[in-house]
Amino acid sequence: MPTLKKIAAILNPPAPHMVGDGFRVHNFFPSGYKIKMDPFYLLDYNAKIEFSPTNKLRGVGVHPHRGFETVTIAYHGAVAHHDSAGNSGFIHPGDVQWMTAASGILHKEYHEENYSKKGGPFQMVQLWVNLPSKYKMSTPKYQALANDNISKYELPDRNGVVEIIAGEYQGIKGIASTFTPIEMYNLKLKAGANLVLASPATYNTALIVIEGSIRVNGTEQAATNQLIHFALEGSEIEIEAKENAVVLFLSGEPINEPIAQYGPFLMNKPEELQQAIEDYNTGKFGYLEE
């Protein structure tokens, strides 16, 4: 019989820092808290803030990535992006940008022009999802996950919706392709809504409260901007929305391989980092105009 996953910790957002001039993020891991979330290596959370109108495009200029995937989830505001593989596009609230850097790519991302001119609330999550060693040097790719195309499960009595970005919920599969088993959902809940999420005991699992507040497993409460980290015990999570709430659910099977990380490179061995730096410096990541 399924048992509830044990709550390991309810974590407040660490002190924020700027990434470029467009993203004010709280790094929950690996810097903020030393929690095990493999295959998720990094979580930068841009809590909701207001940006003033401007004609300058705030953001992050050209930078490289190798050995992992970046997943950007938009809640407020809009972002434009370009990469050296020729991909470009926009993400608006509800959309997801899933970029597989793999063997190497140059990337830049800025506030979308119309949003910049108007200003307003801005809220995003960016994850680094590690790749198994056998896929780290595969061909880069990009998945544009518009909200209209994201699979959805409607809760009974119009109590909300589960947006299945990756994995499967109640027999409905998410549209994102992943290299390892991952469950990633946005829960958009009305006050009083209840639901149960399944997560194998061996999967690293967390919830991030994007808006509102929730009760977890009938006992613990978590508020806006808090992260709930679960122990490797039990296989179900009970959630009750204490008020209208938006919650990001992350759960994944650990890769359990050595990690060597330097800046925007996430490999298995130090010598692979040296090779990544050499390849970047000699132009093997392609070209992208600033």
Pairing of strands 260-262, 265-267: antiparallel
CA gap 108, 119 in Å, rounded: 20
What is the model's pLDDT at position 175? 96
What does pTM read for this prediction? 0.98
Q: Measuring CA to CA, which residue among 135, 139, 134 is closest to residue 85?
A: 139
Residue 227: the pLDDT is 98
pLDDT in tens for each of the 290 residues of the chain? Answer: 889 999 999 999 999 999 999 999 999 999 999 999 999 999 999 999 999 999 999 999 999 999 999 999 999 999 999 999 999 999 999 999 999 999 999 999 999 999 999 999 999 999 999 999 999 999 999 999 999 999 999 999 999 999 999 999 999 999 999 999 999 999 999 999 999 999 999 999 999 999 999 999 999 999 999 999 999 999 999 999 999 999 999 999 999 999 999 999 999 999 999 999 999 999 999 999 98
> What is the per-residue pLDDT for 219?
95
pLDDT for the residue numbered 1: 82
Residues 43 and 73: beta-carbon distance below 8 Å? no
- Sequential DSSP letters for 236-273: EEEEEESSSEEEEEEEE-------EEETTEEESSHHHH
Exposure of 138 by Cβ count < 10 A (0-12 exposed, 13-18 middle, 19+ buried)? Answer: middle
User: 107 and 63 in contact (C-beta within 8 Å)?
Assistant: yes
Nearest to 152 by CA among 195, 126, 192, 185: 185
Residue 290 has a pLDDT of: 86
Euclidean distance between CA atoms 137 and 65, whole angstroms: 11
**Tokens 């140059």, residue located:** 106
**How many Cβ atoms from other residues are within 10 Å of residue 172's Cβ?**
12
170 φ/ψ sector (left φ>0, alpha ψ -120 to 50, else beta): left
Length of the chain in residues, anyone?
Answer: 290
Amino acid 143: pLDDT? 96
Phi-psi region of 285 (alpha: psi -120 to 50; beta: other; left: phi over 0): alpha
Domains of the chain, start order: 7-252 (2.60.120.10)
